[in-house]
Each structure stands twice: as structure tokens, then as C-alpha cells.
Structure 1
Amino acid sequence: MDIKKVVIVGGGTAGWLAANHLGKTLFNTNDVTVTLIESPDIPTIGVGEGTVPAIRKSLQSFGISETEFITQCDVTFKQSIKFSNWLDSDIHGKNNFFHHLFDMPSPMGDDLTPFWLNREVEDYANIVSPQFRVCEAFKAPKKITTPEYVGSLGYAYHLNAAKFAKLLAKNARDKFSVEHILANVREVKLDDTGAVHSLVTDTQGELKFDLYIDCTGFEALIINKALKVPFVDKSKQLLVDRALTVQVPTESNEPIPPFTLATAHQAGWIWDIALSNRRGVGFVYSTKYMDDETAIKKLDKYLGGGLSGLNYRFLPMKVGYREKFWHQNCICLGLAQGFLEPLEATSILLTDFAASYIANRLPKSVVQMASIQTQFNQVMEYAWERVVEFIKLHYCLSDRSDSQFWVDNRDPSTIPDELARKLSLWQTHIPNREDFFSKFEVFDLENYLYVLYGMKYQTQADALTEKQMSLAIKQSHQLDQVALQLIGELPEHRDLLEKIKLYGLQSI
């Protein structure tokens, strides 16, 4: 049987990202249609308000103007994640921090990591990249004259998730002719083989398709409730399981940090994301080590007593992923696929990655489905496991001992075997490209370098020769000059955003 009718069940960021990827790929294929069924009663969950640089490629491929995106979705630029207090304050200072930058380290050609390990007197990111000081100066990553999706430095975005979903929806409908149906799915009918036969809706009756993409969030209406695909629990490795979230209004003249602020606390961490008109703040914690009442008090303290009068809500976090991401004629994406936690903005990242993969390998018939399904499941399991490892890295490297939460995060039984193996290797060898051998690495060498050495990981480095030391010092001075030049040339973050709203960026 040929695959002629594809349906995406669920809107939001996940559903509409999938609609754009599929719509773009299938737009000139006259015999294949893409439909998205969206409930008019379920709001978008605004957790995924941070992205990674890969989203720029997707948005550009969809034909979305960066100017339109920035002005319509309350977008701000994100050049880094600034981790505050993830290390012991008695050893590293009360307000210790490090940056996980989005620009490549050591851009002058030679790896400056050995140079830093032999000195270890400054922040690692400040030694290897000029972006550290650009971030600390609250500068934008580009100028108003810089073309769309191009920057002087690497960047991603912070965004309003609800507005982002609306922009993606309009683009998918208008550019790629994706059919949009507003209806609630009341029942998922299966056929004799256990595959999805049809969907029963409240306003459109029974609808039959060939391939079903489940983007129904935590409910996982098809992959979980109908097809009963098991969930792989990762709560023994990643200990946080709850978030207390709030939106904090800001003044129109307040400086906007060009980074996500991630501040560690007694039993987890706090995200702080600045949009143009508000901050999205989330207190992430483990209920094993902190109760809800204490979490409210801690968040109120973080906001300087500003929690009262604001509407806040609790979000449970079931940490893990589906045992299969493609089962029978159903593929799950977004929160239906799984969720770990907001650290490192992995939710939108994995959704975009998976949606692109499906669009580029969509089977033409049911006969082709089995082999592609097997490969997709293998690739996505690999990607999810690597994300688990990278998130765990932040916790198990911390030397904080002010609560049992941090002590337990260093327990070897909670550290994934592959991560433990790599950390053992990196005690005596600086990470290199060969340590990340798959094209499906979600986080690569440069990501690990920023986190490992931002958290003062002790790799036994060979002493540098006089020639090596001289070259490293020269390149370090060159990066200093580049940083000063960029700080002088680049606009203040908020100033650039205001100019984009007035004049727009240059289209490519």
C-alpha cells in the first residue's frame, strides 16, 4: 500500500515543526498530502523557550524571514548558557560561573585547551573564545546590516513558544499547503494487525490516514495510550522531576542578557530566559530532596520577593523516552517522544532533528516502512542516550556538597556507563574529534570542552614546549584583540532588537 496521506496529531512547536519539514519536502509531490489536527482546547506548553544554533538552518530552509520571526515571536538572541553556582562556593567563589558558548573554541587554529590546563588561571571560555566577553558585555551577535541568519558569532534564540507555534503554523499552511483541522481526537482505532486504522474526532467524524505522527505532548495519545509503547525511565540518572514556572514582566529599557542564565540551587537549578518584554523563569528540582513549599520560597527569594502577585504553575517531569519512536504506522515527536529536562534546550533540538530525519526519509509505501522504521529507532535511541549523558555531565562534575542531591549525583551508579568511560579517558587525554564518531552526535566536541573545563575538570596535560607556549600566548593575545574589536563594533542587545523592529535585517 502506498503512503498518500500523512497526519500530524497535535500542534504546538513539535507539530508545526514537523508540518514545515514534511510540507517543504513533499510540496512538489502532488500525490502525498499532509494534514495537521490540532485541539482548540489545549494550550502550548511554554517550557521550550530556548533553542540551539541548528534551528537557524531549519527556519531559513522553511523560507521564514528572520526579521519576521524576531518581531512576531518576542525573540532575543542567545549566544550561550551561563551556568552560575554549579561549583562549590567555598572553593570557587560565591558567584562562580562558566559559559557554554555557541561559537567554536580556539578559532585561530590551534587548540588552546592544553594552554589553559597548564595555567588554569582564567575562565576556560574566556581563553578560547572572544564570545565570552561579548556575552558579559551584553552585546548582540550581529549588526543591523548583517544579513538574516548570519552572525559575527554563533547564536540561537529565546522565543515565545505560543507565538512561535503560530508563526510556524501560518508558514506551513501558506507556503506548503498543509491542511489544518481544529478538532479533538476522541478515539484511536486500531486494525487487526495492531496498526492505527483511523481517528475519531468530535467535529470531523472518523478520519483515516496512512501514516500518523503523534505530537500530542505528555499525553502521547497514539504512541502510549493506543499503541502501548513502553517508556524508558531515566530518573535514576537524571534526578530532577518537577519545575515551578513563572513569567516575570520586565521594563522596556532593561538590558537583555544574550544568554540563558542557569543558576544551581540546593536540589536543582533555575532557568532565567529574557525575552523583549518578560522573563521566563523556572525552578527545576527533585521532589526527593525538596518539597513544593520550599521550592516556592526559594523561587520567591531568587526573584527578590517578587513571586507574590504572579501566576505560577507546577510542571511534573517524567524523565525518559519511548522504547520505540516509530511503531507500526505511528511516529512520535516532541514531548510524546520523551522529555529529560530543560537544561541545554534539548526538547526543541531533538524535535527538529527527528522531524528533519523523517522528512528526508519518508517511505513511499508500507513495504518500505520496516527498514526505515528500524533505522529511525536506532538513530533516535542513540541521540536520546547521548543527551542523557551530556545533561548528566553537568551534575556529576559538580563538587557541590551542600545537599544530598549533589552528593547523589556523583554516585557512580547514577552515571551512564558510556559517560563514565569517556570521563575516565579524559582524565589523561583531552577530548578530540575522534571521541565523537557518529554523524548523529547531538552534542559534539566543542560542547563537551566548554562544560568539562568550565567545571574545572582535571585532565592531566603534558607540559608545553617553549615554542608551543609562545604560539599559544600569541593566539591568546589575538583573541583578546578580536574580543575588544567585537565589543566596540557590536550593538547592545536590546538596541539591535529595537532596530530590527524598525528597519528589519537584510534578506539574503
Structure 2
Amino acid sequence: MNNSPLKSITIVGGGSTGWMTALYLSKLYNHSSNIIDIRLIESKEIGIIGVGEATVHSLRFFFAAMGLDENELLRETNATLKTGILFRNWMKPVDGKMHEYFHPFEQQKPSGKIDNASAWILNNQINESNSTPFAEATSLSFSLMQNNLSPKTHYLNQYQGIVPYGYHLDATLMAAFLKRKATQAGVEHIEANVTDVLVNDGNITEVVTDLGSFKSDIFIDCTGFKGLLIQSLKNDNWQSFETELPCNKAVAMQREYLPHQLPRAYTTATALSHGWVWEIDLTNRQGTGYVYDGNSLTREQAEAELKAYLGDEQEIIRTVHLDMKIGCRREFWVGNCIAMGLAGGFIEPLESTGLHLINLGARLLATHLTSSNPSQAIRTSYNTAMKGLYTDLRQFIVLHYCLTDRDDNEFWQKAAQSSAFIPALEQKMTLWKDKVCEYVDLANGYSSVFTDENYRYVLYGMQHIPEIHIPCPKTEISRILDNLKTQQFRAKEQSLSHQEFLAKIKKF
């Protein structure tokens, strides 16, 4: 092994993946002086997919760590705030009313002798005819969502909120914004078309373009689903998740707002016949799309079903059809090449994790990319962590499907059985019939964003509620839930409306 210092990094591919990675590595290695040469090669001829426009809450910490002004970021990307996801139609209607539940980003601290989830469950067992949905009873975000309030007050600093929050943003504009910040920080930008990737002894020696060849210590593959660089080193390197997660295509649309229509501070995910529709509100337009099983619907059928769901009141600006590879690399780091973003893997964006996985992949380099030729032990450690993250996310997304009671077609009948492909999940679901889901049940996993609190919102929103028998006075149960109501009221009183906050940031 050669432990010589790292001198150069070449990133191939732009978009959100390339420029997030470039900016992060520039801040990591060159924060005080230009020690490592970082270049990014991208083609003018290859467009940005630019469809995924929602994030999880942890992306705030990435932007903050990069020293970005949050107000500038929001303005430059036509962004709005996101307090969570409203899931609709994932189970059969009850009494003619569409099923829905809310998944926020937060977890409120216990305020009594038992945890909030146990208090809610025991209260439901006592008052079966007057049960309040879990998110409504235990989160502050639900009341903000219900009243289209933001998680911001007049006095909070940037990246702070009453509750954790993510963003809805224009992915194309975000890539342009990060590109500007990265090049200002010293990242070399080269517009060229890659024509060949030269390999010797398990490493990339140089990338050949129509503007010449480029050598580097480390190459980072941000070329999307085709994985141009990583494929040149290892062909049989893909683990598919499509058996348990068959939604492998999407039709995405951008729509104009109706007069006086206000952007919502939450995402909606509404289940249809063979998948689900997202609705994401930006300041200037709405992004929507149907993620579906391409083995069951044609492109034309999917587009027709999406239009039927949306109606024809709002003008469609743009429509694009996408093919998706559901799964991940067995090895994300091969030789001197690291696959990032779609080149490394993809799981349907039901929980808005695309940018989150780029963030995690880049951040892991801080502890792993420590020389020009790291050992195999380093590469194995990185690969184990990244594969663990995708595997944990696969489990969490399957959870949304396998709890359904819908049986209206083969797609939903198979969805209800999808946990069979993840025995560990089936074991946990059996366990969670008799106890609350808690941290220790998931503590041996890799996920850094979806923990027991997130699992509870999905489990209880999908009516997978345990029967527990904990001796606790009714007065204590009422006190805990009443205390949460008080916190909800205070949050509502302090929060700016979503529209008021968006108008405020335009002034800075």
C-alpha cells in the first residue's frame, strides 16, 4: 500500500451529486489553502434529471456545514420548507373516508412516567371510540402542517426551527447554485464529453475526453444510473431490490399554480393503482409525478392515470418519463473509483432520500479518503457502511408497503407480502405487535436519519399498533397527552405562516 498524500481528485458528472460532492471535498481538504487539486468534468450534452425536489431534515446540516446562507439558498432554488410527508390512500378507506397519516421529522421528549407512544397506545385502548391519530397526538409538526405554518419564528437563526424541517427545492437550480459556490471555492470546472475510461491493474489511469485526457489519484463517479467509471472497473456489481420494490419508472410533471394557490409546507404521497404520486410545492410552481411499476403499466397508462388524478385545472409546464434502477452497488468503492449518487444506487424517493445519500457518501470520505492509495480495509469499510445505509433504507421503504390492507389488484396484494424478502423486518413486525418500537430494536443498523421515531409514525399511521398492558393511572396518561397539546398550541402561536416566512426571506 502506498501511503503518499492525496494530491488530486477528479469528479465526473455534475448535477446535485457532482456539485454537492465537489463543494464538500473542497471545504474538507482546501478550507485553509489549496492543498488538493479538485476538478469536475461534466458534459453540456447530458442534462440534469432534476426531478427529486424534496429533502429530509438532515440536509440542513450539510448546507450549514458548507457555510451557505440559508436565505440565499432558498431564494436561489425557489425553495419552500417541509415539515413532513402526508401519506394518503395507502390503506382501504374507512367509512368512505380516504386513509391518511402524517410522517414528521420530529420526536418530542417524554413528559411523564412513560414514553409518549405508550401513553397514546394506552389511551386508545381506554377510549377506542375517540382515538386521535398518532402524529396528531404526539407531534408539533402535525398542527403546523394542518394550518400550513412554517417551523420558523421571527427570532430563530438560520437552519433553526421549532421542529426539524427539510426543503422542497428545484434540483436544477440547486445544482447551479452549488456549482457557483464550488467554483468560487477553487474547484476546477471542465465542460467536456468523456469518450473513454482507461484502466490498468484494477485502477482508472485516466479519463479521456474530447478536450484531452485527465489523470488523478482518485476518481468519483457521478454519472448517474449508467455508472460510466465504476462499470469500467467491475461489471457484476449490482444488487437489485426490484423484487420487493417493483416501482422502477416515473412520469414527472411541473405545473403552474392556480390564482391565489399557496405552496404547502409538506409533501404529499398518494397511493394510486400501481405506485404513488408525489406533490411538492415550490415558490413558483408545483412538482408532481407518478412512481409506478413499469412491469404493470405502460408509459401512456401511467401518464393517463396521473392526469386523471391531478385533474386539468392547472397548466402542465413540462412532462418527463424516467427509467430507474432500484438497488445499489455491491461495492461503491473499487480501486481508485468511488460511485456517488445514482451511480451508487437508488431507492424510490418515497422518503426523499436522494440528496441525503449523496451527503452521507461524501461525508464518509472525510474519514476514509486519507491517502492517494487507501488500503483494501479502507475500501471495505466504506463499502460496508454504504451498503448498510441502502439496505436499511430498503427495509424502511418496504415497511410503507407491507402494512397495507389494500387488495384491489396484484400490485397491492404483492406489496402486502413484500416483507417476506426481509426476514429481519418480519421478525421486528412480530415483535412490534406486543411492544412499542424503540431505539434498541434498530440500534444495530446503519441508518442515521430513520430511527425508531420514524418507524413509529409509519407503523401506527398504518394501524400496526401493539397491545400493551402497562400499569399507568388514567390521570398520568391524560397529563402526558395534555402536555403535548399545550406544546402544540405554543408552537402554533409562535410560528410564522409558510407564506409569511417565504415573503420574509425575499427581503434579505
Could you say which residue in structure 2 is the equivalent of 1:131?
Answer: 141
CA distance in 2, matches of 1:420, 1:448: 14
- Residue in structure 2 matching 1:148, options 137, 151, 158: 158
Q: Does 1:200 align with 2:208?
A: yes
2:29/2:35 contact within 8 Å kept: no
- Aligned AA for 2:338? I
CA shift, 1:93, in A, is 4.5
Q: RMSD across aligned C-alpha pairs, in angstroms?
A: 1.8
Could you say which residue in structure 1 is the equivalent of 2:274?
Answer: 267
Could you say which residue in structure 1 is the equivalent of 2:239?
Answer: 232
Could you say which residue in structure 2 is the equivalent of 1:165?
Answer: 175
- Residue in structure 2 matching 1:489, options 468, 488, 494: 494
Could you say which residue in structure 2 is the equivalent of 1:116?
Answer: 120
Could you say which residue in structure 2 is the equivalent of 1:420?
Answer: 426
- Give the stretch that moved more between structures: 304-313 or 110-119: 304-313
CA distance in 2, matches of 1:48, 1:37: 22
Q: Does 1:190 align with 2:190?
A: no
CA shift, 1:34, in A, is 1.2
Could you say which residue in structure 1 is the equivalent of 2:99?
Answer: 96
Could you say which residue in structure 1 is the equivalent of 2:331?
Answer: 324
SS at match of 1:180: strand
Query: In the superposition, relative to structure 1, how do residues 226 and 40 fare at CA in structure 2: closer, same or farther (>3 Å)?
Result: farther
**Aligned residue pairs, count:** 496
Instruction: Spell out, residue by residue over 1:265-297, the C-alpha distance to the aligned partner (whole angstroms, 9 max, x if none).
Output: 111110000001111101111123333332222
CA distance in 2, matches of 1:400, 1:241: 20
CA shift, 1:194, in A, is 2.4
- Residue in structure 1 matching 2:439, options 420, 424, 433: 433
Percent identity, aligned pairs only, is 34
Query: In the superposition, relative to structure 1, how do residues 144 and 40 fare at CA in structure 2: closer, same or farther (>3 Å)?
Result: farther
Query: In the superposition, relative to structure 1, how do residues 104 and 319 fare at CA in structure 2: closer, same or farther (>3 Å)?
Result: same
2:92/2:98 contact within 8 Å kept: no
CA shift, 1:128, in A, is 0.9
- Residue in structure 1 matching 2:70, options 66, 71, 76: 66
Could you say which residue in structure 2 is the equivalent of 1:385?
Answer: 391
1:251/1:277 contact within 8 Å kept: no
CA distance in 2, matches of 1:359, 1:14: 16
Could you say which residue in structure 1 is the equivalent of 2:128?
Answer: none
- Aligned AA for 1:375? S
- Aligned AA for 1:19? A
Query: In the superposition, relative to structure 1, how do residues 306 and 229 fare at CA in structure 2: closer, same or farther (>3 Å)?
Result: farther
CA distance in 2, matches of 1:281, 1:26: 38
1:140/1:258 contact within 8 Å kept: yes
- Give the stretch that moved more between structures: 47-56 or 267-276: 47-56
Query: In the superposition, relative to structure 1, how do residues 168 and 310 fare at CA in structure 2: closer, same or farther (>3 Å)?
Result: closer
CA shift, 1:304, in A, is 1.2
CA shift, 1:242, in A, is 1.0
SS at match of 1:311: strand
Give every structure 1 segment of 4 or more consecutive aligned residues whose post-TM-superposition deviation is greater than 6 Å.
none
CA distance in 2, matches of 1:92, 1:353: 43
Query: In the superposition, relative to structure 1, how do residues 499 and 307 fare at CA in structure 2: closer, same or farther (>3 Å)?
Result: closer
CA distance in 2, matches of 1:272, 1:69: 21
CA distance in 1, matches of 2:433, 2:241: 26
- Residue in structure 2 matching 1:477, options 469, 479, 482: 482
Could you say which residue in structure 2 is the equivalent of 1:33?
Answer: 37
- Aligned AA for 2:381? Q
Instruction: Spell out, residue by residue over 1:218-251, the C-alpha distance to the aligned partner (whole angstroms, 9 max, x if none).
Output: 1211112454252111111102111111001114
Q: Does 1:46 align with 2:50?
A: yes
SS at match of 2:348: coil
Q: Any unmatched runs of 5+ in structure 1? A: none
Aligned 1:161-310 pairs, distance under 5 A = 161-175=171-185, 177-191=186-200, 193-203=201-211, 205-251=212-258, 253-306=260-313, 310=317
Q: Does 1:86 align with 2:90?
A: yes
Query: In the superposition, relative to structure 1, how do residues 56 and 412 fare at CA in structure 2: closer, same or farther (>3 Å)?
Result: closer
- Residue in structure 2 matching 1:22, options 22, 25, 34: 25
Query: In the superposition, relative to structure 1, how do residues 258 and 309 fare at CA in structure 2: closer, same or farther (>3 Å)?
Result: closer
